[in-house]
Amino acid sequence: MKNRIITISREFGSGGRTIGKETAAKLGVPCYDQELIEKLAEESGFAPAYIQEQGEYAPYNGWLNALTGRSNGLTNQDQLWVLQRKIILELAEKGPCVIVGRCADFILRGEADCLTVFIHADMEKRAERIVKVYGERPETPEKRLRDKDKRRASYYQFYTDMTWGDARHYDVALDSGRLGIDKCVSTLVSLY
């Protein structure tokens, strides 16, 4: 597989999704984010909202698995992981693209010509963004940020056995709070 792929992992509220979409648009390649969830829903039969929510939860360990939706020895999350991996590999095989989230950096490691990116920003900038852009309540955005990041980190650790956000696992880490969305996009375009 020789297609050039950009994978974007991101802290919640850092603008990683926006950076991915704008980078893809400037490069003239597809961006897979919500489209990936829709493909997973279509192929799995699970509702998109369920996939979006469960895609950030690591499966329970131990005896709880017996009570939490096991089928053929796999949890629903495990089944989604297997399907998600298959879909990401197919999309990367199809052509150059940008893939946001879903452990694509790990899945495509050694499988494609990848530029792996992690987008982050300080808590204040991210809190401001989720209130302004996502319409979160201004009273507790920091709690929401911590909860989402904790779930993403747990999911990533469970399926990759690596630490989410550890700069050693990415080619580039960009602080969107300091650089701004446009500068992050232009940096990624120049590195492509």
Q: What is the reported pTM? A: 0.88
CATH number at residue 60: 3.40.50.300
pLDDT band at 56; cut points 50, 70, 90: low
The arithmetic mean of pLDDT across residues 119-140, rounded, is 91
Instruction: Express each pLDDT in 77-94 by its tens digit.
Output: 888 999 999 999 999 999
Could you count the other beta carbons within 10 Å of the beta carbon of residue 34?
Answer: 13
Which one has a higher pLDDT value, 163 or 58? 163
Domain count, the chain: 1
* pLDDT over threshold 60, residue 64: no
CA distance linking residue 36 with residue 17, whole number of Å: 13
Q: Which residues contact 190 (CB under 8 A, 6 or more apart)?
A: none
CA distance linking residue 78 with residue 71, whole number of Å: 10
* pLDDT over threshold 80, residue 65: no
CA distance linking residue 170 with residue 161, whole number of Å: 15
* Domain of residue 79, residue span: 4-191
* pLDDT over threshold 90, residue 63: no
